[in-house]
Every structure is written in structure tokens, then in C-alpha cells.
Amino acid sequence: MTSLRFVRSVWESFRATSGLEPRLLDGLRVTAAKPGKVNFELDIKKEHTNRLNILHGGTIASMVDLGGSLAVASRGLFATGVSTDLNVTYLSSGGKVGDKILAEVTCDKFGKTLAYTSIKFLNDKGDVFARGSHTKFVALAWKDPQNIVEEMAKEEREGIATFKSEA
């Protein structure tokens, strides 16, 4: 299974079983993945904005949380653990209804107990408007029978994994 297909399957599991993500981030599209790295995008809709009609900081924080989980999934964990720390730095407005958000997330360190991720958000002009970090407790996630950690590690070691993107 390719990294992109696996990460998308984890995203579909979030959409099918979570209360928040399918309501707030249903239109999110995972566009590329390889072990340790995931890109996704979201078109800003009314439900993503605040009373100033710009992207709500809570939407960005939710994407830091989800992005960290998807980065952990890109390492082969289907169960992506639980949050221990989440940080967001807002640099400028993320846009308004009709704009597109691009996100690049990496799994910076992947251990038996904790995983550390970082993310940056760009507007459609390529300007960074926010960045975040997310720490996940993953010790129990290692037991999930749907994990493919060894397969992902092999992809990475053998250079099989290309940063696949949809056209």
C-alpha cells in the first residue's frame, strides 16, 4: 500500500468515526504523502470563518491537530495516538471564503512513546500565514492491527516512496 493511499484511509476513518472532523473539515483533501510528510488542502467555506469573515483560528488549530495525526499515519500507524501538546502561531489572516489553504506537515520525530510533528499553512500565493506543532502520545497506537509501520519504513529505506501527488 502506498503512503498516500494509507494516509487517505486514515483520513476516511476520521471522517467516518469522529464527531468534529467530518463537520468542520469534510472538504479537506490529502494531496500528497510519503513516510514522514503529508500535504493537504482545504477550500475556505463560511463554516471555517469567524465574525470578521476570515479564516477562524480554531479551524487552523483543528487542522494542526488533524495534520499531526496524518503525519503520524504517514509513518504507518493507523491509530494515531492522542494529543499531549498543540501549538499554533498565527502570522497573518489565512484568507476568506473561496480561498484555498495549503498545508505541509512533517513527522519530525517518531518514537515508541511520542511523535512530534510540525506544520505550515500557506495561502494560494505561497505565503505562510500560520505554523504549528503537535505532540502525540503513540505508545498504545503501536498495538493496532491495521498498522503498516514496517512497510512504510521499508518504503522509506529503499527510496520507493515518492512524494505522490494527485493531479
Over residues 11-24, the mean pLDDT reads 95
pLDDT bin (cut points 50, 70, 90) of residue 164 is low
Least confident of 12-16, 22-26, 161-165: 161-165
Question: Over 80: is that where the pLDDT of 112 sits?
Answer: yes
Q: Is the pLDDT of residue 2 over 90?
A: no
What's the confidence (pLDDT) of residue 163? Answer: 62
pLDDT category, 36, cuts 50, 70, 90?
very high
Q: Is the pLDDT of residue 144 over 90?
A: yes
Query: Where are the strands (E) in the chain, listed by range?
Result: 29-34, 37-43, 82-90, 100-110, 114-122, 128-137, 164-165
Which domains are seen in the chain, by residue range? 3-165 (3.10.129.10)
pLDDT at 17 over 90: yes
- Angle of helix 149-157 relative to helix 3-17, nearest 10 degrees, comes to 150
- Write down the residue that cell numbers 476513518 correspond to: 13
As a whole number of angstroms, the distance between CA 18 and CA 116 comes to 22
Evaluate whether 18 touches 11 at the Cβ level (below 8 Å): no
Q: Which cell goes with 110?
A: 517518531
**Residue 61 CB neighbours (<10 A):** 17
Q: Taking 60 as the threshold, does the pLDDT of residue 167 lie above it?
A: no
pLDDT for position 123: 96
Q: Which residues does 38 contact at the CB level (< 8 Å), separation at least 6?
A: 7, 30, 32, 67, 70, 71, 73, 74, 104, 105, 106
